[in-house]
Structure 1
Amino acid sequence: MNQLRGKNILFGQQHATTEGMSITAKDGTQSDTFNSVGAYPGLFGWDTLSLEGKEKPGVTGHAEQSRDNLVAVMKKAYADGGVLTFSSHMPNFVTGGDFYDTKGNVVSHILPGGDKNAAYNAFLDQIAGFALHLKTDDGRPIPVIFRPFHEQSGSWFWWGAAFTTTDEYKEIYRYTVEYLRDKKDVHNFLYAYSPGGGFGDSVDTYLKTYPGDDYVDILGFDSYYNGEGDSWFNGVKTEAKTVSNIADSRGKVAAFTEFGYQKMKVTGNTTLDFYTKLASTLKSDPDAKKMAFMLTWANFGPDSIYVPYPTGDPNQEHEMLPDFKKYYQDAYTLFSDGVIGAYDKKVNTASEQGFMHIASPTGQSTIKEASTTIRVRVLNETPDRVVYSVQGSDTEYPMVLNPDSGYYEAQWTPAAEQNGKTADITVKVYGSSGAVLHEQTNTVFVKIGEVLAGAYTFDTAPDAEGIQYNGEYTSSSGGTNDGSAAYSDFNGGSLKISAPHLNGTDSWQELKLELKNAKAKAGAGS
């Protein structure tokens, strides 16, 4: 794909061979694109909804058949020379709703330690099963561009900006990659990062939720045309240029991961030269031109058309079909008949570099339990030790590798004086030389309903020194103060109270003890 950038751009379509207006079979053998220009797209897209049986070629209630059907149509597209991409409109794991159901702060629940993490893992298991079955007849894995959690800069999906913090987004993206790659041995995925448009020329805005170079192969963006005229085309050029420059600086592939003409009709469209104008706009800038591919959406029906098609009615042809044919004939655009040897390229791979990140608690999260698990992932190196410390103390507490989870873990119990405040948790990874290899600090807010302020035990005599006896009060004798409280070795350590004036016949009686060091002991976090 990098070899194409600046020379050609792959045209792609979602459900190119499993949905269409001019096709009779939806089994991977026909396509509106082919019927329009005589070639399939150069890039084919599907979604995890097919694995769930909610989109073709999936079958409702039959997970294995859905997987096998999807593998079959993707193998057919691969055999036709196409590049494959796979998006994910995930269900709401908290409410049971769909991807548009934004209730429930879902990301916080599916991260490690969350009560829906197991449900999310089961969903990832389905994806892994598909990936591991997607092979050629002679057993070679077929590569796929996987694009999860897309358009996160908007707020129409439950993983969108209004419903998750920046750090939560980064961590769920990282978790997804690590689970598929490291736990399920999926190695035929390239990972795409694709916020929605609107970032303009701002690198910082585009990279706000970027999970890191270790987790992303393709940098993309999504943008749809709603009849805005030149402003949209110019905006796409600016944002394509921004993404292309970022990709170049990071050794990544740049792509226009979703585009389309919204509410396209057979007749009555305002921009009849949409495809050629968009191609010309990209070509007008040497950086914007360097998109590896551009993927449009599926022809699901009359109200969802993104590729013109032959209507079969000579009196009412699709009015945008002539422009789409010109777009196909442009030397810049590549369809399946122009994709040659895509899978025969030899490349030099880069060695893996060491990396560390705090999986939980994420930055800016709220600690609500009296004890929370700190989880840290260390990749591509074996540290001498991993430790954490908490704001206000230089003490470094050891973290232990959990072989089941793959995280270095430790339990942290916030001190009473931290409740209601922010706290910085710092993790350091030390190498064998004693040098710090990695360091990260997450700031969290501590809001625990009930937290231990201090504890008194009586295991030894000094433990009782903070207890002062302040007398007994009874209905018969009033108040006296000539008793005492002292340590006793009874039952392995106890507090012995001498109260000489208590009378068993009194209607009421009180003993009063003062915890002299309570404030100091709470301050020490005991």
Structure 2
Amino acid sequence: VGTPLKKTIQGVETNDPFEELETLTSELPVTPFLPNISLHESIAYETDGEGLYIPSSNPSATRLTRKLLSAMVELLQHGGILFGQQNANTNGQNWRVTDTSTENCDVANTTGGSGFPAVVGYNAQDIIDGVDLSAQVIDAYVRGAIIEFYWMPPNPVTGGEPWNCSGNPVEELLPNGTGHASFTSMLRKIGAGLRQYKYEGQSIPILFRVMHEMTWPRYWWSIKCANPTTYRRAYKYMQDFMIVNLGLDNILFTWAAAKVSWYENATFNQWYPGDDCVDILGFDRYASYETYGEDLLADCQTAVIHGIDVGKVVVAAETGVSKGIQGVPETDFFMKSFLLPMANDPLCKQIAYALTWANFNEEKYWIPLKGQPNYDSFVEMYQSNKSVFSEDPRWVDIQMRYGLGVYSSYDGPFPV
């Protein structure tokens, strides 16, 4: 992600540096309204005989996967937003996992060893590249984290980067296309990897976020190279292949567009793949620190309104200050611009989690360490009852009652 530039679309100043976005349905900022029903009251997933929610994408999802979805729905009633981080236990500012070590985490380092994210994100491309994440995934799951994988597929026609449009990949990945064999081969490798993550003999339920940020002109599946029709067809094929052909019944599909408050109509009326394809409704939002809080709030409000409309759990699937927080001059960022805009808003406080990006080094990070700017602000956020980390009693109680993580031996009934 880059630092946004300023330009004007239909007389509205935005942080959008891409001229191509003028071909998208550009809209005036949305004025949020307060629906007369809460997100929890609007949940529209079907239920099984135990009362567990069934993922919209797969009626055959495992019992443990249904437990996770049900636990996320119940969390909406308890208050507090789960905090997540990408690569939380695989790399930090000053360390990298070199073997099967699971001992390090910058969130824990910042909180004196007591804190761990309630959501941990990983990159499915690592599976394709032969990286064994088993120790880290299982460790995070046992410590109470929801496991999320995202994937930016390489161009299946050329093997090029995800932003390479050559060869019309969004159509050629389909059966009989020139990229079909390559695309399905990558999916098979991912499937084999996701299937091996088990705890006490059960496949760990995993949130899977792929072909995301399609309204941002960057990737071969986005508006840069595709249109809503070709995108929806490709997304549906990918999903069906993973569920039907690969038999992956431990997946919840998270669908996340970028900057949804700017492109609300295009996002939800054009690119949205359909209720049966979406288990978790997400949004991705990066912005400069000057506008981050207001941009996050606007996207969050828009996403929750549509979550209420379609009856889905809503998450901030990926969010943060562009290029990291190391250059943010304000010292209360995590309270003023991150947590409180969501937690104090009647719409946004209903999201399940917000996941920020990974720590790479001391020059590029999203979680500060002691002595760095915003360290005190992060600790204050951690201690706030408006945030939920993996060891938070509210989340531990839900996990215990649904039999998730280290409590997976519990066998119901649900909820207790």
What is the alpha-carbon distance in structure 2 between the residues aligned to residue 287 and residue 156 of structure 1?
A: 30
After superposition, what is the alpha-carbon deviation per residue over 1:340-370, rounded to whole angstroms, capped at 9, x for unaligned? 143742699xxxxxxxxxxxxxxxxxxxxxx
Q: Give the drift of 1:210.
A: 1.1
Determine if the alignment matches structure 1 residue 45 to structure 2 residue 121.
yes
What is the alpha-carbon distance in structure 2 between the residues aligned to residue 204 and residue 35 of structure 1?
A: 41
Residue 73 of structure 2 is matched in structure 1 by 2
Whether the 8 Å contact between 2:157 and 2:167 is mirrored in structure 1 is: yes
What is the alpha-carbon distance in structure 2 between the residues aligned to residue 124 and residue 24 of structure 1?
A: 27
Matches within 5 A, 1:465-504: none
Whether the 8 Å contact between 1:238 and 1:288 is mirrored in structure 2 is: no
What is the alpha-carbon distance in structure 1 between the residues aligned to residue 267 and residue 252 of structure 2?
A: 23
Higher strand proportion? 1
Equivalent in 107, 127, 131 of residue 170 of structure 2: 107
Residue 104 of structure 2 is matched in structure 1 by 30
Matches within 5 A, 1:501-520: none
Residue 91 of structure 1 is matched in structure 2 by 154
Whether the 8 Å contact between 1:201 and 1:239 is mirrored in structure 2 is: no
What is the alpha-carbon distance in structure 2 between the residues aligned to residue 75 and residue 292 of structure 1?
A: 22
Instruction: Report the residue type matching 1:111 in the other structure.
Output: L
After superposition, what is the alpha-carbon deviation per residue over 1:50-84, rounded to whole angstroms, capped at 9, x for unaligned? 1133xxxxxxxxx3xx2xx2122101110111110
Equivalent in 222, 243, 252 of residue 190 of structure 1: 252
Q: In the superposition, relative to structure 1, how do residues 194 and 99 fare at CA in structure 2: closer, same or farther (>3 Å)?
A: same
Whether the 8 Å contact between 1:200 and 1:242 is mirrored in structure 2 is: no
Q: In the superposition, relative to structure 1, how do residues 347 and 169 fare at CA in structure 2: closer, same or farther (>3 Å)?
A: farther
Structure 1: gaps spanning 5 or more residues: 54-62, 311-316, 349-526
Residue 130 of structure 1 is matched in structure 2 by 193
What is the alpha-carbon distance in structure 2 between the residues aligned to residue 100 and residue 107 of structure 1?
A: 12
Determine if the alignment matches structure 1 residue 276 to structure 2 residue 330.
no
Equivalent in 359, 374, 389 of residue 320 of structure 1: 374
- Count matched residues: 326
Whether the 8 Å contact between 1:263 and 1:303 is mirrored in structure 2 is: no
What is the alpha-carbon distance in structure 2 between the residues aligned to residue 124 and residue 264 of structure 1?
A: 31
Whether the 8 Å contact between 1:241 and 1:287 is mirrored in structure 2 is: yes
What is the alpha-carbon distance in structure 1 between the residues aligned to residue 287 and residue 329 of structure 2?
A: 11
Name the structure, 1 or 2, with higher relative contact order (CA <8 Å, separation 6+). Answer: 2
Q: In the superposition, relative to structure 1, how do residues 128 and 52 fare at CA in structure 2: closer, same or farther (>3 Å)?
A: closer
Q: Give the drift of 1:129.
A: 0.5
Q: Give the drift of 1:218.
A: 0.6
Determine if the alignment matches structure 1 residue 291 to structure 2 residue 351.
yes
Q: What secondary structure does 2:253 align onto?
A: strand
Q: In the superposition, relative to structure 1, how do residues 265 and 221 fare at CA in structure 2: closer, same or farther (>3 Å)?
A: closer
Instruction: Report the residue type matching 2:175 in the other structure.
Output: P
Residue 236 of structure 2 is matched in structure 1 by 174
What is the alpha-carbon distance in structure 1 between the residues aligned to residue 372 and residue 76 of structure 2?
A: 31
Equivalent in 85, 93, 110 of residue 13 of structure 1: 85
Taking structure 1 as the reference length, the TM-score comes to: 0.59
What is the alpha-carbon distance in structure 2 between the residues aligned to residue 333 and residue 151 of structure 1?
A: 26
Residue 342 of structure 1 is matched in structure 2 by 399
Q: What secondary structure does 2:346 align onto?
A: coil
After superposition, what is the alpha-carbon deviation per residue over 1:396-418, rounded to whole angstroms, capped at 9, x for unaligned? xxxxxxxxxxxxxxxxxxxxxxx
Instruction: Report the residue type matching 1:276 in the other structure.
Output: M
Instruction: Report the residue type matching 1:252 in the other structure.
Output: K
What is the alpha-carbon distance in structure 2 between the residues aligned to residue 270 and residue 8 of structure 1?
A: 27
Q: Give the drift of 1:275.
A: 1.1
Q: What secondary structure does 1:214 align onto?
A: helix
Q: Give the drift of 1:270.
A: 2.3
After superposition, what is the alpha-carbon deviation per residue over 1:393-440, rounded to whole angstroms, capped at 9, x for unaligned? xxxxxxxxxxxxxxxxxxxxxxxxxxxxxxxxxxxxxxxxxxxxxxxx
What is the alpha-carbon distance in structure 1 between the residues aligned to residue 342 and residue 124 of structure 2?
A: 30
Instruction: Report the residue type matching 1:270 in the other structure.
Output: P
Whether the 8 Å contact between 1:201 and 1:238 is mirrored in structure 2 is: no
After superposition, what is the alpha-carbon deviation per residue over 1:155-192, rounded to whole angstroms, capped at 9, x for unaligned? 11111112012111111111111111111110000001
Q: What secondary structure does 1:258 align onto?
A: strand
Q: Give the drift of 1:264.
A: 3.6
After superposition, what is the alpha-carbon deviation per residue over 1:5-58, rounded to whole angstroms, capped at 9, x for unaligned? 2611111011001110144655332101100013111100001121133xxxxx
What is the alpha-carbon distance in structure 1 between the residues aligned to residue 322 and residue 125 of structure 2?
A: 21
Q: Give the drift of 1:221.
A: 0.6
Whether the 8 Å contact between 2:164 and 2:219 is mirrored in structure 1 is: yes
Q: Give the drift of 1:104.
A: 2.7
Q: In the superposition, relative to structure 1, how do residues 201 and 117 fare at CA in structure 2: closer, same or farther (>3 Å)?
A: closer
Residue 297 of structure 2 is matched in structure 1 by 237
Q: What secondary structure does 1:150 align onto?
A: coil
What is the alpha-carbon distance in structure 2 between the residues aligned to residue 227 and residue 245 of structure 1?
A: 25
Whether the 8 Å contact between 1:45 and 1:86 is mirrored in structure 2 is: yes
Q: Give the drift of 1:90.
A: 1.2
Higher helix proportion? 2
Instruction: Report the residue type matching 1:273 in the other structure.
Output: D
What is the alpha-carbon distance in structure 2 between the residues aligned to residue 190 and residue 121 of structure 1?
A: 19
Largest Rg, 1 or 2: 1
What is the alpha-carbon distance in structure 2 between the residues aligned to residue 250 and residue 209 of structure 1?
A: 15
% identity of equivalent residues = 29
What is the alpha-carbon distance in structure 1 between the residues aligned to residue 155 and residue 267 of structure 2?
A: 26
What is the alpha-carbon distance in structure 2 between the residues aligned to residue 24 and residue 182 of structure 1?
A: 36
Instruction: Report the residue type matching 2:81 in the other structure.
Output: I
Whether the 8 Å contact between 1:256 and 1:293 is mirrored in structure 2 is: yes
Matches within 5 A, 1:410-489: none
